[in-house]
Structure 1
Amino acid sequence: MSSDLEISALAINVTIPEALRWTDTRRGETYTLTTLNVRLLPDGHLAAKAYGRPVAGGRGAYVSFPVPTRPELAELIADAAGRAGVLWAAHRGPN
């Protein structure tokens, strides 16, 4: 395996379990956050943003929200990254 391959992005999308979901407001519209986008940064740390749907219904704008500093969300992010690593490591090559 070549270690000089340049990987520009490693990201996963994770469904937030209902018990951990929260709401946030942007541009006067309240959203229920249902999905995390988790990225592996070049230094090995993880970064996450949350996305969701307007509480009032409809599609709404595709905007990101910060993830609150809560231990259970940090655990979800770390667990999801670990699970993604296992899945990536077990890949079976191109289809």
Structure 2
Amino acid sequence: MSSDLEVSALAINVTIPEALRWTDMRRGQEFQLTTLNVRLLPDGHLAVKAYGRPVGGGRGAYVSFPVPDDPALASLVAEAADHAGTLWAAHQGLG
């Protein structure tokens, strides 16, 4: 493998289980958070944002929110990152 190979992004999307979902407000509109976007940073740490849609429906934007400091959500993020690493390591090349 080339030592000058640069990978610019490693990210996964994780569906938030129903029991861990929450709502948040943005510009007077309530959103239900249903998806986490987890990124692996160059220093090896993880960064995460939550995404959701307006509770009232409609064509509201897909908006990002901070993830609350919750041990269950932190565990979900860590488990998802570990699982993604296993999946990446077992890839079978281009189809």
Shorter-normalised TM range:
over 0.9
Aligned match of 1:64? 64
Gaps of 5+ in 1: none
In 2: Cα distance, 1:33 partner to 1:19 partner: 11
Q: In the TM superposition, what are the counterparts of 1:34-45 in structure 2 within 5 Å?
A: 34-45=34-45
Aligned match of 1:23? 23
Aligned match of 2:87? 87
Residues 20-59 of structure 1 deviation map (CA, whole Å, 9 limit, x = unaligned): 0000000110000000000000000000000011110123
Structure 2 residue identity aligned to 1:70: D
What is the TM-score when the length of structure 2 is the normalising length?
A: 0.96
Query: Structure 1 residues 80-89 or 1-10, which shifts more?
Result: 1-10
Structure 2 residue identity aligned to 1:24: D
SS at match of 1:14: strand
Q: Could you tell me how far 1:88 is from its partner in structure 2?
A: 0.2
In 2: Cα distance, 1:21 partner to 1:28 partner: 19
Q: Cα RMSD between the aligned structures?
A: 0.8
Q: State how many pairs are aligned.
A: 95
SS at match of 2:76: helix
Q: Could you tell me how far 1:3 is from its partner in structure 2?
A: 3.3
What is the TM-score when the length of structure 1 is the normalising length?
A: 0.96
SS at match of 1:64: strand
Aligned structure 1 segments of 4 or more residues deviating by more than 6 angstroms:
none
